[in-house]
Amino acid sequence: MAKNSDVMEARLNIEEDFKKGYDLPVYVYKPWCKSCEICVAFCPKQVLEMGEDRKPRVARPDDCILCRQCEIRCPDLAIFVTREKKK
């Protein structure tokens, strides 16, 4: 995957991952992530962890409450919740 990509390319890459059966509640688009760790630090349920590649890893997907705090605070638009909130 290219280091820099525009939004169209990012969407295609993410959709491809979805088609391959990506099934976690949080998606990290790694090429855009700058490893600031804000998402990991402020997740209220400690769903995320820093991986060995210094990018967040969805370590405890079952604990995710779909609050979108990671999505709202990510300065790089690199992380988002893949499921709609249950009403």
The residues in 13-32 that bind another protein, with binding defined as CB under 8 A, are 14-15, 18, 22, 29, 31-32
Q: Are 56 and 49 in contact (CB under 8 A)?
A: yes
Residues 66-85: x where in contact with another protein by CB under 8 A, - otherwise, as a string: -----xxxxxxxx-xxxxx-
Q: Does 12 bind another protein (CB under 8 A)?
A: no
Q: Six-digit token pair at 39?
A: 């998402």
Which residue in the block uniquely carries the two structure tokens 């300065």?
75
> Position 9: which residue type?
E
The correct pick among 10, 50, 58, 59 for binding another protein (CB under 8 A) is: 10
